[in-house]
Amino acid sequence: MRQSSRPLLALRNGSPALITVLALAMAVTCALLLALPGQTVTTKYVSDLFISLDGAHRVVSGQAPSRDFHTPLGPLAYYLPAIGYWMSGSLGGAMPTGMALLLLALAPAMAYIVSSRFRPAIALPFAAFLILILAVPINLGEGVTALSFAKFYNRIGWAALAALLVMYLRPEHPRPRQDWWDALSAALLTLVMITTKITYGLVALSFLVFLLLDPRQRRWVGLAMAVILTIGLLAEAIWRGSMPHLSDLLLTARVSGGLRGTWGQIIDHVLGNFADYVLLSLFAGLALWRTRSLRDVLFYAFCAVTGFLVINQNFQAWGIITIHAAAAVAAETILRSSDEAPEPIGRSWSVTAGAKLLFLALVLPTIVHCTIALGLHAAVASMRFGDAVALAPLDRIRLVNLWTWSDHEVATKYLSAVQDGAAALSSLDPRPSRIFVLDVANPFSASLGVEPPRGDSSWLLLGRTISATNFVPPDRLLADVQVVMQPKTLEDPTGAKESKEVGGETLQILYGPYIAAHFEPVRETEHWIIHLKRQPGPRTTCITECKGAPISAQEKNAALEAGKP
């Protein structure tokens, strides 16, 4: 009886090759939806988009992250849009093309992992779940109309980490060269996390150390660590940015408080992910009731705790994807134990069907949500809806109002200010380069196609990369800068006088005195005060007019105080 049931069991478990093909087909479809329109559609977080585009422009200009400019993100977060920029030939195609390429690069490893460890009822939904998270241009936890490539590095980290975590489950039917395939897949996912955002990389490395406790998986884990170390040393020999990057990470940790988060963030994340934790508890309880394994208890706890620590330093309310990885492992564990248990207690139809349906209920809402958002981006991009950014290098970036009125108003005001500043810079003679913006992002170097400064920062966000007590000293940050763009105070749609992102007072306090001592204002527009680096010799600021531009009262007073006629 046992022998005759094996073919039926194999049929029920499905073909790993078929699962792999279906997962790869999903990845290719999503990649085409991203890349083919050749447009970036956004409804919010425009300044965050400019952080990525500025990084792509810096890399194409010959700079290396952390070595030539300060950033807490890993180098892949900048090389990815740079490759997309190079391949698409447009800043508007940089992010969609870059993400499509990464999706194609990670899809084989993800397809292999799910096909080697899960049966189709778990493998296919989980593969679709990971692929769509990686592909969809929204910040996890936000609506389907909140289209933006902002925080894309978090989606990369979550998807790669979830795929790695399910490798805790040993393959039920090992394949030839199983250890090598496991090692290479784990190494690829871990290296992507390390080079994108270090918090995910640290969790990935901790997980690999934890897996060393399993003697049956120790060999491939050791091989994976050897591959990671070898590639890391080779990359450092080329990049030579590890120590500067470590310095940037320590600065960011002091600013943001590391993985702790504020009490407000902690409460938000508890409430926002409470239902997922309840479902994980049900899965883990059923699985542990069958396995009675202390190592399994540690694994579920590891997924629950580390995921919570990571989201506490993310700009997210929902999306602890490690919970879903743990639930996938628990669901497969329940199904395997049901296959092995004697009739009729173990192989109860209600248990196996319940585990499959409960897991589908956990991942299906996100699958549907991400599918709608990805399809919406592809449709809007293909039909060229919305308004193209009125700067030639950015004309393939489209701002769209998808029933997102307040976000659209904020983004429109921001782009209007960018266009105002770009026009003023273009009118200067000679045309300026090495531009620094005293704001979150620098939209001008990329949009004007000019040489970016070295030694500055790719983004200045209060509470994230800079604070009143932790910041890059101005003599280092502005050493290579020729032009400083100082934003004026702007009112936001709620009527607030000033936000952290626009004209922050802290930035003025930290860097204003140095700018006043080493730069001089030459032009004032509706949104900006433009400062040029002061050259040796007499100051050249005009009281009445400079290069055809009216001089502000502030500049007149500064000139009079300096004793100029």
Domain residues of the chain, as ranges? Answer: 6-255+371-382, 404-561
Q: How high is the pLDDT of residue 16?
A: 87
For the cut 70, the answer to whether the pLDDT of residue 483 exceeds it is: yes
Residue among 152, 39, 150, 30 at smallest CA distance from 89: 39
Q: How high is the pLDDT of residue 461?
A: 87
Least confident of 91-95, 119-123, 405-409: 405-409
Contacts for 135 with CB less than 8 Å, ≥ 6 apart: 27, 30, 31, 33, 34, 99, 100, 103, 370, 374
Strands 545-546 and 549-550: antiparallel
Using DSSP's 3-state secondary structure scheme, residue 479 falls into coil
For the cut 80, the answer to whether the pLDDT of residue 432 exceeds it is: yes
For the cut 80, the answer to whether the pLDDT of residue 546 exceeds it is: no
Least confident of 112-116, 213-217, 263-267, 362-366: 263-267
Q: How high is the pLDDT of residue 183?
A: 96
Instruction: Quote the CA–CA distance of 441 and 401 in Å, as a whole number.
Output: 22
Residue at 12: amino acid letter: R
Q: Stretch 374-401: mean pLDDT, rounded?
A: 92
**Local confidence band at 14 (pLDDT 50, 70, 90 cut-offs):** low
Residue at 309: amino acid letter: L
pLDDT in tens, 167-186: 999 988 877 888 999 999 99
pLDDT in tens, 52-65: 999 999 999 999 99
Q: Stretch 311-331: mean pLDDT, rounded?
A: 92
In the DSSP assignment, the letter for residue 20 is H
Q: Stretch 319-337: mean pLDDT, rounded?
A: 94
**Local confidence band at 496 (pLDDT 50, 70, 90 cut-offs):** very low
Cα 204 → chain centroid = 16
For the chain, what is the mean pLDDT? Answer: 86
Q: How high is the pLDDT of residue 444?
A: 94
DSSP 390-439: SSGGGTTEEE--SS-HHHHHHHHHHHHHHHHHHHHHHHSSSPP-SEEESS
Indicate the burial class of 288 (C-beta count within 10 angstroms; 0-12, 13-18, 19 or more): middle
Q: Are 35 and 25 in contact (CB under 8 A)?
A: no
For the cut 90, the answer to whether the pLDDT of residue 280 exceeds it is: yes
For the cut 60, the answer to whether the pLDDT of residue 545 exceeds it is: no
pTM above 0.85, yes or no: yes
CA atoms within 13 A on the CB side of 285: 6
Q: How high is the pLDDT of residue 261?
A: 61
Q: Stretch 338-362: mean pLDDT, rounded?
A: 73
> Residue 15's CB: how many other CB atoms inside 10 A?
12
> Residue 357's CB: how many other CB atoms inside 10 A?
13
Q: How high is the pLDDT of residue 502?
A: 40
Indicate the burial class of 143 (C-beta count within 10 angstroms; 0-12, 13-18, 19 or more): middle
